[in-house]
Structure 1
Amino acid sequence: MPALSPPLPPPTGAKHGVNSETFRSPPLDGSISVPQILDYHLAHSPSHPLFRYKPHDAASIATGYKQILWRDVVRAVHRAARFVTRKVEESPVQAASPLIAILANPDFPTYFALQYGIIRAGYTAFPISPRNSPEAVAHLLHQTGSTHLVVGNEQALRELAQSALGLVARQHQRASAIVDIPIPAFGDLYIENDVDFEPLPPMVTPDFTQTALILHSSGSTSFPKPIPLTHRIQLQWCRNVAYGEMDLSREVMSLHSLPLFHAYAGMTSSDAITAGITLGVLAPSASLRTPSPEDILEEAVATGCTLIANVPSNIEVWASDPVSVAHLTKFERVMFGGAPMNPEIGDTLVASGVRLQNLYGATEIGSACMIIPAEAPGDEWNYITLSPAQTPYFQPQEDRTFELFLYPSELISILLVNTEVDGRPAYATNDIVLRHPTKPQKFKVVRRADDQIMLSTGEKTNPGPIEATIQKHPMVKKAVVFGRGKMQNGVLIEPTSGNGIDPTDVEALSSFRNAIWESVEGANTVAPSHSRIFKEMILVTSPSKPMAYTDKGSLKKQISINLYSAEIEALYVAVEDSSQTDIEPPASWAYTDTLIFVRKVVNKVLGHVLQDDDDIFQSGGDSLQATWIRNTVLRALRESGVSMMKLPQSFIYSAPTISKLTKYISSLSASGPSVVVAPDYVEARAKEMIAMVDKYTVNFPAHTPTAPAPTSEVALLTGSTGAIGSAILAHLVTLPSVSRIYAFNRKSKNGPSIRQRQLRSLEDRGLDVSIIDLPKVMFVEGDTAVPGLGLSKELYFEIRDSVTFIIHNAWRLDFNLTLSSFEPLIHGVRNLADLALASPHPAPPRVLFESSVSVLTTALTDWSLPGSVPERALEDPRIAISMGYGESKWVSERILQIASERTALRGVVIRIGQLCGGSNGSWNQSEWIPSIIRSGEVLGALPQAEGDVSWLPASVAAVAIVEMRNSPYTTLHLAHPRRTPWSLIFEYAAKSIGAELISFPEWFARLEASLQSDEPQVELVKRNPALLLLDTFRSLSRKPDVPGPGREALSMPVLDTDRAVEVAPSLSEKNLAALSTKDIDRWLRYWRKSEFLCVK
């Protein structure tokens, strides 16, 4: 066939590939089709990467990721084309135009090769979402006339295919004509070092009006509709990215959460074909896992992605975690689409330095926005910039808004023309938009013109069938589904006359819900899984506040929802932490009883029965249902009196089958009230820790002296703006031997500068603020996790050539994160070691690493050696297993210790115990001791405990750390050598704030009971921040009343400090007295001055 005639005009955007040595932009004028563009890349961009992934053995790879080049991808496409052609030719029924549907969810590279292999073979590819029901799949197969069906290997997919084919057979008598083809594996298509590979013959240019690919709609209003893409339309999709303003050939886009059957993934892969974008994907695997939001971001960071796009619900999860937000600030764009984002969260992210970008498109029209504007939208993040290729029509509405229509044009074909505007065919988006006041191509979506409800997950709900089914119940007058921008739907019910209830009456509400539940379940059976209504999401109107109606008796839906906006918001808040309360905890947490319990929970939440080894997510589960399962398990454990490590949000993702959940839960809770960690869990965590140590202890550079010994000391201090960092800086400037101090901190993102942050920190701690202007202090912005510390070459070389010791103080204090989230910080430790080894001095700079008593997590409960914990290296990772924070410190300790063994580097690990208020009493109010003292004012009581404490003032700790820079020992402990009785501190504090002194278990019971207050939880926690550490205090309340040998109060381990006292004069008996009431007075004055405590 000839090329497209007339040829398409050249796009008006940025030229892709200008900044790349490996990518050459393909012709986009219609001279060749998309499958021919792939062959073009085999010839012209063979060494350019299309895919990047973090392999299962990432620790053994220097970069931490692997890449698949265009050469290997196109060869895989050719192998897939041969595979499909062979299967078609072997079919018992021959079709003139084979149409090959795909019902599978393999890894992205495999799916890509298969889909484009089908098209390269001259057939039509039809990817079908496995989340469809059997009826929907059967409908799609019949409507399109599919001749073949490639099916995934998972049992759930095999059953879905069999059910769908059975329906086609019964309803249309043609199932025998649909040939079932097993999906090829990754290793079948991507073959390394295949010297015998032969490419297919050059492809004949296809008829551009021929269908190349079929997509389908979401099926939110009825069965999903097939949407055909001709070769012309497929090429136009690929052209859209060429109307952007950036060369994207060196960018890496995270697609870790999206399968290729998802329309957005299809659009993005089209962008990659045109612009040379590399796609970050999950590692090829025979069993593809469903990643949690945490997994997605971790994978994106690990693969060096510069762009990330996701649904708002995942971005909102990341927004709640400061470490995740810090990662997000490093992306060139964080893009979202398909659903509205919470405006407050979006504003907060942008204020934190995140470059948000709103996307816009649909299966029927492809991507309709610009990919990507040169400048981030900043505060206008919620506005969408239309692609210059689009021809919009904004139809005015009554409230200064517009309904958006899009016209087809020479540049853009509309797949589904569903209306006419001014006599021209058009696509009605059904979006009501608000246009930008000064930029006509920008707008933001404010609501839907139809009834569809867009959830924050990107899924759509058609409320009509759900409401109609529920309204058939005789007790229901009207039902209105709500949920725009939320993770799940709810329904507002107005009872019929005589069936009204007081919705604040818990028993009456429960009874009403139970009475109509059969009708709600009936609605759930016909609705998509994401649209299911849970019983707890049924809201009943009050007789005193009926729904709103017109004079003719028609329901005013939106006004009715607005009437109950406060109740709806309160319901969502309540449901966030709620669970399936009608499922009783098991009689015991032995394996068999736990298995029965987990089966009930999973099967009830999912609404159908799973086999014990079925993957929850492969069987229709989603993030909402994962949350319900987790909450139900937690509620049952707590009702049973079991205290355990807090299960993370990703718990269900880590153990996604009934069997794995049962094993994990029963192992954790096997010993009742005590914390028990399953052996296989311990071994898995230990292996991960060792693997991370191995990853960062390979190929240390050799130290090569080239300069004489320095005549003065030069310090590199990381994290100078923190509490201990400020005190260290304040002491360093007083030392005549120190001629320069590089105060190294993370880069400021739209916030106070380093100098401003340092000034505030010094002021808060009563330290000399004038030191920030001293010539010897140089503030440096950078990132230890990146090569060259994120500095200019000139500054990096200056620091390398002059520094004589490094104090690595900066670290993220967050006990909820896993080890992988700390990897950038661990990478920073290695980078600092490399910096020291690159020094030209006769001896490399000493690296002092501030570790923590948290590496002794296991020692807190199971330190088996007699006496105190010695000042030595801890080579067994199991001692630190529990929190990612402690695990990360252990990994970093080992990196320095191994570097000291293998190279000329001399690292000093300083394990720091509990620090208390400094010279002016300043003590971070979020820590556990200040939280306890604050609780005394709220509860009227403070806890008593037997034994001593070794808390060290932060100002003393800072001096001691500096003194340790010349230590001959590689491991030191920083704690008060002269311990103080817990009773002395808390008896004095109790008297000072007017509280009684009670046992720790009694105090904890009173704290836990305070949760029953009617006060809003946000205000309750603000007034009593100890509630934020409830799990920690629950664990401490179960410690023995009298600590054993080698134990402090609350069974904390005693740290040996003999070596520390030897090298740090500030810790000597002559210079440091035991804590006294004077210290406590300083703490109390500071907390009262900051209004943390009431002023006396």
Structure 2
Amino acid sequence: MIWFFPEGLAPITAPNIISAVAHARKKCDAPVHYFTSVPYILQMLFEDKHAVELLQSMDLVGVGGAPLPPAIGDGLVAAGINLVSRMGSMECGFLMSSHRNYQQDREWQYLRPIQDERYLQFEPRDNGLSELVVKPAWPLRVKTNRDDGSYATADLFEPHETIPNAWRYHSRADSQLVLANGKKFDPAPMEADILAATNILRDVFIFGSGKNYPGILLFPSSLDMSDTAILETAWAIIQKINSQSQGHARISRSMVIIVSVPLDEAALQKSSKGTILRNQAEEQYKSWIEAAYSKPGSAAPVQITSRDQLFQAVLECFFRVLGRNIDPDEDLFRQNVDSMACLQIRAQVMEACLPDPEEQLPLNIIYECGSVNNLVKHLEQVRSGEFLEKQDQNERRHQLMRHMADRYRDFSSSLRPKIHQGSRNVVVLTGATGFLGAHILHSLLCKEQKIDAVYLLVRAKTPEDAYQRVARVLTGYGLIDLRQISHTKPSVVCLPCDLSDGAIGFSTQHLDDFSKASTTFIHTAWTVNFNLRLPSFEDQVSGTQQLIQLAIKSGAKFVFISSIAAVSCSASHLIREDVSEDPADASPMGYSESKWVAEQVCAAAYKAVTATDSAPASEMLPWMSIIRVGQLCGNKLGIWNKSEAYPLMLSTESLVGCLPRLEDQPLDWLPVDTAADAILEIALGAHAKMFKNPSQQSNLATGPLVYHVLNPFTQPDWSQLLSWISEDDLGRGLEVVPPSEWVTRLEDTLAQTNEHHPSHVLVGLWKGSLAPEEMACPTGKIRPGSVQSYEMTRAKQSVPTLRDLEPLDKQRV
């Protein structure tokens, strides 16, 4: 054994370690082929050429005790070193390592546990992670924290995309940084990567617990460099790490803080394993952290006297947050400006561009404007006190909807082959990583459907990445485990795609093979973000056109999943199962407007194909359908989509201490698994028998078949829901207030406390729909949900699931 800590007799340096190994090899009869150490030693050796040569001479190089920065480990493996990571604990002894075939497998970070759940088990947690649980049979376990004798380690791992039973350590469940919106991430790997990438810093500390977004403290290793030079060097590294991080974990340029500490003092207190003592660090640098959030980080407001000055000031605000220049004409969402960045940019803009320091901009103003140029126009109106009349704004929106529909309605070159009549039934499904799409996939795989294969089009880089994304979502909703699908189920093929691409990201041959095999397209994928304006959804509309073209080429059926929001502002008391021709029918949100536009694209495709089809209506099959889905609620397991409007509304009670009184608001929510079953009954042809009735055949010549899939019952209502909540509230009492008061209290709380509660994304929507003066649609039509009803004649005739619907009860809600 080589002892690298000779109690201060020799410093731990690369030359001394090389000498120690050389001495051991000379004096020992047994060969020295295995080198193991803590990460600090390997990081030091990696910087020395001769030390790297020493490690290359070993059969194995082990590391453990703390995380090794990925950049260092990757560099060692690239140098031909057989690096193995080990993991153990005081409570359970040695647990697993990344021992593998080193010539073929370079994934040194992925541990390979014994594949026997009697000893070790990975239990699913949030965000696709799993917690390692050591079972009672593990021979080295000396501690338990569960009734069954197991030990839950609180160590979270993520599975490899393609290698079975390979797990990479992610974070501690009890040490993750939790933002104000409840989202979590482990800052330690990011901190390690930054330190490993530069020698100008001796330490870094990422903060943000309980805040809207994270920030970072940089501690220079030398006091000779200017803060500007340090920031420029560090920012390039942070940008690269941001590109690989979850959106909520990204750090903006304005939140990068440089802290100069005397070099003879420790910048951060650390544990014996070298990990940062986070609570102590937050307390030590409390004033720096508070200053970062209380001051957006901009310079003092400049005197703005022209539009050009205002334009430059706004661009500077974006640069301070994003650290990059953006196209002032292009849609912000398409330029990857996320919601957290929008909050920071808003704060910068208010400080730099508004003459009155007390004046506030709406929380979602950045997304509402959509581009830098539109934001500048809005600021000009705010600064001058002039605004467009609401009627002019509405007409402009409607014109934009018509123009977008016109851009994607050309199917003049489309020829319709005969619908597939072969024995194989292959479904193409988009949106399988969404709430509804995941349940549609679950039903396809679990119900008595005569399906041979399911192709999933997923936004991903590789098939493995696509597969893992879908598998994680299904597990998170308590649905089928893709890894345990039996051979009796339909085969599942996950295909990475880009729906904005003309070939959806496929090669010509791949696209041709895909087209020949497909028999039914179910297009569910759509960005669900109620703050975005219509231009942000153009890629979604374009993708719909591309998929329709593929369906036409394939001779396949096409089913578009729309929303009742596409027609919820209709002037009619009864909204029929027909395609709307009036853009004012859509509710005034980019999401709703984009669904209306996509329905126009579907109608144009149907008309173009019908015009080229010489078959009489009696021989035509309903190859295109539009399904408008109503408000969804949780599945049979009680699992909801947490980003839905009503769960978010209910969650605000903990923030503002009250909930709104929604008079005569029915709980017309449809369980998501019921909606999925109904959609499949329509998509897979169970409705075709209704066209044996000659009176129905005329529908085929006029346009796509439209179905309303929703809950038609008006009871129970919102008041009953609040009563159920009060019953389960242990007598604490639930304050119920008028909607306008609730919206005001919520908006004030979010603005005054800088809270990033997830409900902030819907404040603008609620303010417009619940305030007394906004009880009608902008066009003066009936308020959605008040006295309107949706025709369901076709849906109920076609779909047994909808005929058997019952009102919601307390247990299902």
* One-letter amino acid of the structure 1 residue matched with residue 709 of structure 2: L
* One-letter amino acid of the structure 2 residue matched with residue 847 of structure 1: F
Q: In the alignment, what sits opposite 1:1062?
A: 797
Q: In the alignment, what sits opposite 1:959?
A: 677
Matches of 2:357 and 2:200, distance apart in 1: 53
- TM-score, L = length of structure 2: 0.53
Question: C-alpha displacement at 1:955, in angstroms?
Answer: 1.0
Q: In the alignment, what sits opposite 1:610?
A: 305
Check the 8 A contact 2:350/2:357 in 1, yes or no.
no
Q: In the alignment, what sits opposite 2:811?
A: 1078
Per-residue deviation, residues 661-694 of structure 1 (Å, max 9, x unmatched): 22898565x7xxxxx7461x44444444333323
Q: In the alignment, what sits opposite 1:848?
A: 559
Per-residue deviation, residues 371-423 of structure 1 (Å, max 9, x unmatched): xxxxxxx9789859xxxxxxxxxxx99989xxxxxxxxxxxxxxxxxxxxxxx
Question: C-alpha displacement at 1:838, in angstroms?
Answer: 1.0
For structure 2, which runs of at least 5 residues remain unmatched after alignment? 1-177, 180-184, 204-217, 236-250, 268-281, 321-344, 611-621, 688-699
Question: C-alpha displacement at 1:1053, in angstroms?
Answer: 5.2
- TM-score, L = length of structure 1: 0.41
* One-letter amino acid of the structure 2 residue matched with residue 1065 of structure 1: P
Check the 8 A contact 2:775/2:783 in 1, yes or no.
no
Per-residue deviation, residues 1007-1039 of structure 1 (Å, max 9, x unmatched): 45655997x846xx3xxx545543344334414
Check the 8 A contact 2:195/2:202 in 1, yes or no.
no
Q: In the alignment, what sits opposite 2:228?
A: 453
Given the alignment, which residue of 297, 304, 316 partners 1:622? Answer: 316
Given the alignment, which residue of 945, 951, 954 partners 2:662? Answer: 945
Question: C-alpha displacement at 1:950, in angstroms?
Answer: 1.7
Question: C-alpha displacement at 1:802, in angstroms?
Answer: 3.0
Check the 8 A contact 2:649/2:759 in 1, yes or no.
yes
* One-letter amino acid of the structure 2 residue matched with residue 901 of structure 1: K
Question: C-alpha displacement at 1:845, in angstroms?
Answer: 1.8
Per-residue deviation, residues 543-575 of structure 1 (Å, max 9, x unmatched): xxxx99999xxxxx9xxxx99954233223123
* One-letter amino acid of the structure 2 residue matched with residue 821 of structure 1: S
* One-letter amino acid of the structure 2 residue matched with residue 622 of structure 1: E
Compared CA separation, residues 636 and 1030, structure 1 to 2 (3 A): farther
Matches of 1:751 and 1:869, distance apart in 2: 42
Q: Pairwise mapping of residues 815-834 of structure 1 onto structure 2 (< 5 A)?
A: 815-834=530-549
Compared CA separation, residues 962 and 808, structure 1 to 2 (3 A): same
SS class of match (1:920): coil
Check the 8 A contact 1:836/1:845 in 2, yes or no.
yes
Q: In the alignment, what sits opposite 2:506?
A: 791
Matches of 1:850 and 1:633, distance apart in 2: 43
SS class of match (1:787): coil
Per-residue deviation, residues 222-272 of structure 1 (Å, max 9, x unmatched): xxxxxxxxxxxxxxxxxxxxxxxxxxxxxxxxxxxxxxxxxxxxxxxxxxx
* One-letter amino acid of the structure 2 residue matched with residue 902 of structure 1: A
SS class of match (1:689): helix
Check the 8 A contact 2:201/2:220 in 1, yes or no.
no
Q: In the alignment, what sits opposite 1:696?
A: 408
* One-letter amino acid of the structure 1 residue matched with residue 455 of structure 2: A
SS class of match (1:744): strand
Q: In the alignment, what sits opposite 1:303?
A: none
Q: In the alignment, what sits opposite 2:18?
A: none
Matches of 1:661 and 1:850, distance apart in 2: 39
Check the 8 A contact 1:785/1:828 in 2, yes or no.
yes
Compared CA separation, residues 869 and 798, structure 1 to 2 (3 A): same
Per-residue deviation, residues 614-634 of structure 1 (Å, max 9, x unmatched): 563368973369856742699
Per-residue deviation, residues 329-374 of structure 1 (Å, max 9, x unmatched): xxxxxxxxxxxxxxx99xxxxx99xxx9xxxxxxxxxxxxxxxxxx
Question: C-alpha displacement at 1:808, in angstroms?
Answer: 0.6
Check the 8 A contact 2:454/2:491 in 1, yes or no.
yes
Given the alignment, which residue of 798, 811, 814 partners 2:529? Answer: 814
Q: In the alignment, what sits opposite 1:984?
A: 720
Matches of 1:649 and 1:1046, distance apart in 2: 23
Check the 8 A contact 1:456/1:487 in 2, yes or no.
no
Check the 8 A contact 1:652/1:661 in 2, yes or no.
no
Question: C-alpha displacement at 1:1067, in angstroms?
Answer: 0.8
Check the 8 A contact 1:912/1:973 in 2, yes or no.
yes
Q: In the alignment, what sits opposite 1:571?
A: 291
Question: C-alpha displacement at 1:847, in angstroms?
Answer: 0.9
Bigger radius of gyration, 1 or 2?
A: 1
Matches of 2:588 and 2:667, distance apart in 1: 23
Q: Pairwise mapping of residues 457-472 of structure 1 onto structure 2 (< 5 A)?
A: none
Matches of 1:663 and 1:749, distance apart in 2: 43
Check the 8 A contact 2:354/2:383 in 1, yes or no.
no
Question: C-alpha displacement at 1:970, in angstroms?
Answer: 2.3
* One-letter amino acid of the structure 1 residue matched with residue 228 of structure 2: I
Given the alignment, which residue of 705, 710, 715 partners 1:975? Answer: 710
Check the 8 A contact 1:936/1:993 in 2, yes or no.
no
Matches of 2:234 and 2:787, distance apart in 1: 49
Check the 8 A contact 1:718/1:808 in 2, yes or no.
yes
695-704 or 709-718, which moves further after superposition?
695-704
Q: In the alignment, what sits opposite 1:410?
A: none
Per-residue deviation, residues 901-948 of structure 1 (Å, max 9, x unmatched): 111494322222210112222111222222233344565544332112
Per-residue deviation, residues 292-313 of structure 1 (Å, max 9, x unmatched): xxxxxxxxxxxxxxxxxxxxxx
Q: In the alignment, what sits opposite 2:591?
A: 885
Given the alignment, which residue of 642, 649, 658 partners 1:932? Answer: 649
> Is 1:782–2:557 an aligned residue pair?
no
Compared CA separation, residues 1052 and 813, structure 1 to 2 (3 A): farther
Q: In the alignment, what sits opposite 2:350?
A: 631
Compared CA separation, residues 638 and 831, structure 1 to 2 (3 A): farther
* One-letter amino acid of the structure 1 residue matched with residue 720 of structure 2: L
Check the 8 A contact 1:939/1:1006 in 2, yes or no.
yes
Compared CA separation, residues 641 and 397, structure 1 to 2 (3 A): closer
Matches of 1:550 and 1:912, distance apart in 2: 62
Question: C-alpha displacement at 1:448, in angstroms?
Answer: 8.2
Q: In the alignment, what sits opposite 1:721?
A: 433
Identity of aligned residues (%): 22
Question: C-alpha displacement at 1:1056, in angstroms?
Answer: 2.9
Check the 8 A contact 1:935/1:942 in 2, yes or no.
yes
* One-letter amino acid of the structure 2 residue matched with residue 982 of structure 1: W
Given the alignment, which residue of 442, 446, 465 partners 1:730? Answer: 442
SS class of match (1:738): coil
Q: In the alignment, what sits opposite 2:615?
A: none
Q: In the alignment, what sits opposite 2:452?
A: 740
Question: C-alpha displacement at 1:854, in angstroms?
Answer: 3.2
Matches of 1:767 and 1:549, distance apart in 2: 55
Per-residue deviation, residues 158-178 of structure 1 (Å, max 9, x unmatched): xxxxxxxxxxxxxxxxxxxxx
* One-letter amino acid of the structure 1 residue matched with residue 401 of structure 2: M
Matches of 2:431 and 2:679, distance apart in 1: 14
Q: Pairwise mapping of residues 300-339 of structure 1 onto structure 2 (< 5 A)?
A: none
623-632 or 694-703, which moves further after superposition?
623-632
Given the alignment, which residue of 628, 636, 656 partners 1:911? Answer: 628
Check the 8 A contact 1:701/1:837 in 2, yes or no.
no
For structure 1, which runs of at least 5 residues remain unmatched after alignment? 1-343, 346-350, 357-377, 385-395, 401-433, 435-443, 461-483, 493-546, 552-556, 581-603, 671-675, 1081-1096
- Root mean square deviation, CA, Å: 5.3
Matches of 1:691 and 1:633, distance apart in 2: 35
SS class of match (2:626): strand
Matches of 2:346 and 2:775, distance apart in 1: 39
Q: In the alignment, what sits opposite 2:17?
A: none
Question: C-alpha displacement at 1:780, in angstroms?
Answer: 2.2
Compared CA separation, residues 726 and 938, structure 1 to 2 (3 A): same
Question: C-alpha displacement at 1:833, in angstroms?
Answer: 0.9
Matches of 2:559 and 2:422, distance apart in 1: 19
SS class of match (1:790): coil
Count of residues in Structure 1 that have an aligned counterpart in Structure 2: 522
Question: C-alpha displacement at 1:801, in angstroms?
Answer: 1.8
Matches of 1:853 and 1:821, distance apart in 2: 20
Check the 8 A contact 2:563/2:629 in 1, yes or no.
yes
Check the 8 A contact 2:364/2:531 in 1, yes or no.
no
